[in-house]
């Protein structure tokens, strides 16, 4: 019988999270600020080293999420054009 962690890894959640984060031009720190997950944990999830903690991932993002994403994009754009 296949281990549940191996089955979950087949979903490639880490790759999907990294792709979405990069698409939004967010750093790991910015994503960490928007979620309840630490920067090191996000890195480990993206690198498929750990299985995401589902209970923590299923929580709603912080209330200021949309404002934070907009300001994060602005900061990311400013960094890239400097």
pLDDT digits 0-9 by tens, 15-53? 999 999 999 999 999 999 998 899 999 999 999 888 877
Q: Average pLDDT of the chain?
A: 75
Phi/psi-derived region of residue 27, left when phi > 0, alpha when psi is between -120 and 50, beta in every other case: beta
The pLDDT assigned to 62 comes to 53
Residue 82 above 80 pLDDT?
no
Q: How confident is the model at residue 64 (pLDDT cuts 50, 70, 90)?
A: very low
Per the CB < 8 A criterion, the answer to whether 25 and 73 are in contact is yes
Higher-scoring residue by pLDDT: 57, 51: 51
- Domain residue extents for the chain: 4-81
């Amino acid at each position: 019988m296949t281990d549940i962690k191996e089955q979950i890894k087949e979903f490639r959640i880490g790759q999907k999270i990294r792709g979405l984060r990069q698409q939004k031009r967010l750093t790991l720190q910015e994503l960490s600020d928007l979620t309840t997950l630490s920067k090191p944990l996000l890195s480990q999830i993206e690198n498929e080293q750990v299985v995401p903690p589902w209970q923590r991932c299923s929580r709603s993002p912080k209330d200021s999420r949309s404002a934070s994403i907009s300001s994060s994009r602005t900061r990311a754009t400013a960094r890239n054009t400097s």
